[in-house]
A and B are shown apart, each in its own frame.
Chain A
C-alpha cells in the first residue's frame, strides 16, 4: 500500500505546467520506478502525484533539421534502446539503456525520470555527460536550456525550478558527429543492478591521434562528472597504450570517489583508471581508428 493522497493526469505539457503552477506540492511521476520506491521506503509520504504518462508528445525521438538529436523525456529505456536513429548516431546511449534494470523496468522507466532523479548512478547520465547533452525545461511561463553538467547539483538534487518539467534532451551535431564511443557499466550483477562505476567515452580520431576525447563517469563522485584534465591531455596525443595509461591516471584525478560499504575509494579509483582505458580502446575502433594491441 502506497501513501498516495492524490493523483492527477495531464495530457499535454501546457496542462501539466499549469497544474504544477497551481499546486506546488505536486510530485511529478513518469514511470514511477524511482518515485514508488521512495513511497515504499517512506522517503515520500502523503504524495500528490502528477502523472506525465498521457503526454504522448514527450515520447518522441527525432533528429531536427540542424542535426540536433531530440529525445523526449518520456521515452522509456526500451524505446531508447530500440530506436534505430539513436543506435546509429549515439550507440553509447543505447548501450547504457540496455544495461539498465531488467526488461520490465526498461519498459516503464523513462530517460527523463532517470536524469531528474539526480542519482550519480543513473545509467543514462554518464553517456549524456560525454555527449554534452542539453536539457529543455519547460515552465508555465517559458522554457530554458540547461547543459547537463549544470543540471546535477548533488546527490538527488537537480536544477529543476519549482513548476518546471523536463521535456526534451538535446544533443547537438557537433557533439556526436564523427565520434566513436563506448559505455561500460561495471556492476556486481549483469542485470537489475546499480553501477559500481559507469564509464562513457567518446572520441574523434585523426591520423592516429586523438582529436578530441570526452569522458563521463557515473558513481565516481556524488554526481556524474567529466574528466576534463584527462580530456585536455588527450587532445592531439598519439593513440598508444602509454597515452591511454596516462588518460586513465588523469581520469582518477577528476573522480571524487569515496569509501562506502559498497566499494572502497581505492578500488573505485582503480576501476576508473582501468575501465576508462578499456572503454577508450573500443571507442577508438568505433571512431574508425586502429585497434590497439
Chain B
C-alpha cells in the first residue's frame, strides 16, 4: 500500500521537548515540602533479622518516620489517618504480612496464571545483598542517609546460595519456606517424540552454553514520589512502563482497593523491561502513609538500582540435536536452568517465553524443552529486552554453528535447510506464520558484509590478529498472545480546527511509540503530523486502559487500537459531512485536511468547517471523539539475522567488532529512522552482552562487586562499531499497516553472531558470554593458540 505519513522518517513528536529540556521526567516534578525516603539494604545475601532498633534513627532531628518489616502495620489506616485508607484486608492481615507479586503482567482472573506472590514491602528475611529491611523518611537526603546508619540490626546470617548449583544441592537452606527445594517453577513442553527423532537421525550432537547476569542500565534510575491527595487517595508519580499495573500492585501490596491508587507516568528515561515491574512504588506509598500522606520522594542511586531492581536471568543450557546427513534437523532437546535470584518477579515466564519464541524459527518433528527456574540469593531477575530469547538464541545459534562445523556444512545452508515457511502453524500457540522474509534477510546480510569474499580471504590466518565472520538468526513475537491478555486502549478527540489529541494507555519510554501512533492517526485522518497532539503522560485516572509497554507490543497491538480509534473518527467526520452536504459518507475520504471525493479527489468540505460545525451547530453539535479498546487475539512473528565480522587480538584476548549488520523482517516499517534507532540500541546492548557486561558477585557472600558504571562494563560509544540496520519489508496481513514488532528483536541475535565470528577467527568455541579479554586469553591458552 502507498501511504503518505506511514513509512516516512518524520521527526519524533517529542524531539524538540527532549533536546530543549522541556520534557519533564519524574524528578523534574516537585511537591511542596517534599520529604526524602531512603532504604536500608541488607548487607547479607541470606539472613534473618533477629532484632532491629530504630530509636537512634528516630531521634535524629529531621527524621519524620522509620519503617521496618514490623512497623508497616495497619495502624496507619486505623489511627494515623482514620478512615482514609480502608484496608480490604481483614483485621487479621497486616500490611507487613501481605505478600504480593511484582511482575508487570496483566492481571489474570484465573488464579493459577498469576505470578507468584513472594514479596513484602519490607522483609524480616534478607534474600539478597540489597534486600529492603527498613526505610526512613526525612527532610533531606543527607539526614535520611545518616538515619540509615543509626538503625541497629542484628542478623542471623544463613548460607548464601550464590549459584543455581548451590541452591539445588541436597539439603540447601530454603530461600522461601513455601517452596520445596529452591525451585520457583519448572516445566516446558514436548512436541512430537524426541527419542524417536533422535533414533531416526544420522547424528546426535550435544552442546552446553551459558549466559550471565546483566543489567538494563537505563539512563534514568528508578524514581518516584507519592502523597495522599485531597480525595484521600494515594497518588504516585513514577518512572514506569506500566502505570495501570503499578496501580494494581501498589493496591495489592497495601491491601486496599485498586481505585484508591492513582499512578502518573511522565516522560521516562528508558526502561528496557526493568520498569515492567513494580519496584519502589509500594514502599514509596508506605513511606507517604507513614508521614500522614505528605509527599515523599524515593530515588535510587545507580549503585542501588543495579542490584535492587531487576536483572537479566543467567541461563545454563544443555542442547541435544538429532540431524540428518543432509542437514535436516529431526529433533531438538533443550534443558535450561534459569537463575531468577531472590524473588519471583517475572520468574519462570522468562524461560517459558524464550522457549516459546524459539519455536517459530526451525520447525522440527520433535522439540522438547525442559526449563527450571531456580531461586538464589542474588538480585532479582525480571524482564529485560528480549525476555528470555537472547539466552536461548545464544545457545541454539551457537549450537547450530557447532553442528555445521562438525558436519562440515555451510552455516548458512544448514540454517536455510531448517527455516520456517509461511503457513506454518505453531502447534502449541496455534499462531500462524502469515509473513516471513528470513531468507531474504539472510541474503541481504550476506551481501552487506561481503560474506563470501571475506570468508575466502580469512581461510588461513596465523598472525596475532585474526579475523572471522559469523551470523545468527532469530524469531520473536508481537506481543504475548495467546499467553496473556493483549488489550489496548486509545482515545482521540478532534478539536475545532480539525487537529486531534491522541491519548494512549501504551507508554512512550523512549522507543518512539508516540511518534508512530501519531503517524498512523495522521495517515488515516489525512492530517499533517503537527495536527496530531500526543498526550505522552499516562495517568491512570484519565488514560484509557492498556497494560503498558513491553513484549514489543506497542506498534502492533496498540497500533490496532489506534487504527480502530482513528477509523472511528474518520467515519464520524465523513458522517457529519454527509449530514452537512448530503454526500453519502461512503463516497468520501479525508485528505490534506479536506473531505474529498474518494474517487476523484475533488474537494467537498474543509475539515475545519466540519469540525467547527461538530462543536457549535445549534441542532447537530456533537464533538467528534472516539474511545476504543482492542483485544488483539492474534500474533505476528518477526524474524531477523545478524552478520558480524570480528578481529581477535590473540595475545591480549581482545575482540574488536569490525562490521555488524542486523537485517530485520518486521513487516512494514512505520518510521525508518526510528526503526534504525531501535536496531542501533538493541545491537549495542547485545554487544555488551556478548563481550563485556556481567554483574559479578562474591561467591561466598553474594556481595555485588561491580554495581556501578565504572566497574560494570557497559560499552561506550567508542566501543560501538558502526551498526548497519536493514529491513526487508513484507507487510504482515494481521497487523495495522502490515507491521510486526521491532522493539526487542534487535538484541536477540548479535551475541551468537559475534561468538560464531570469534569461532571462525580462532577455531575456538566460546560457549559462555561475555567473552571478556581474560576469558578469551585463558581459553586460547588452553587451546594452545597462544
The residues of A with any CB-CB pair to B shorter than 8 Å are 1, 3, 42, 102, 186, 188-194, 196, 261-264, 267, 270-271, 274-275
Contact = CB atoms under 8 A, between A and B. Distances in A.
A190 B718 contact: yes
Interface residues of B, number: 26
B719 A190 contact: yes
Chain B contact residues: helix, strand, loop or mixed: loop
A263 B141 CA distance: 36
The 3 closest A-B pairs by CB, nearest first: A190-B718, A1-B141, A191-B718
A277 to B, nearest CB: 9
Given A189-B718, A189-B719, A263-B774, A3 B713 contact: no
Contact of B713 (A1, A102, A189): A189
A196 B692 CA distance: 14
A193 B710 contact: yes
B773 A188 contact: yes
A1 B713 CA distance: 26
A186 B142 contact: no
Interface in B129-176: 140-142, 145
B210 to A, nearest CB: 18
B778 A267 contact: yes
Contacts of B692: 188-189
B651 interface: yes
10 contacts: A1-B141, A186-B652, A190-B716, A190-B718, A190-B719, A192-B716, A193-B716, A196-B773, A261-B698, A261-B705
A191 B778 CA distance: 25
B772 interface: yes
B378 to A, nearest CB: 15
B777 interface: yes
Interface string B694-723: 001010000001100111010111110000
Contacts of B706: 261
A267 B777 contact: yes
B713 to A, nearest CB: 5
Interface in B475-508: none
Given A1-B141, A270-B777, A274-B652, A261 B696 contact: yes
A192 B719 CA distance: 10
Contacts of B718: 189-191
B782 to A, nearest CB: 12
Given A191-B719, A267-B778, 9 more contacts: A102-B716, A188-B692, A189-B715, A189-B719, A190-B718, A191-B716, A261-B696, A267-B773, A274-B651
A270 B781 CA distance: 11
Contacts of A192: 709-710, 716
A262 B711 CA distance: 8
A267 B716 contact: no
A270 B653 CA distance: 11
A1 B143 CA distance: 10
A196 B202 CA distance: 48
A194 B145 CA distance: 28
Contacts of B141: 1
Given A189-B692, A267-B774, A1 B142 contact: yes
A262 B710 CA distance: 12
A194 B710 contact: yes
A193 B715 CA distance: 10
A75 B705 CA distance: 33
Interface string B709-746: 11101011111000000000000000000000000000
A239 to B, nearest CB: 20
Nearest to A2: B142
A78 B696 CA distance: 33
Nearest to B691: A188
Nearest to A194: B710
A228 to B, nearest CB: 25
Contacts of A196: 773
Of B652, B692, B711, B716, the most chain A CB neighbours within 10 A belong to B652
Nearest to B699: A261
Contacts of A186: 652
A36 B41 CA distance: 23
Contacts of A275: 652
Nearest to A3: B142
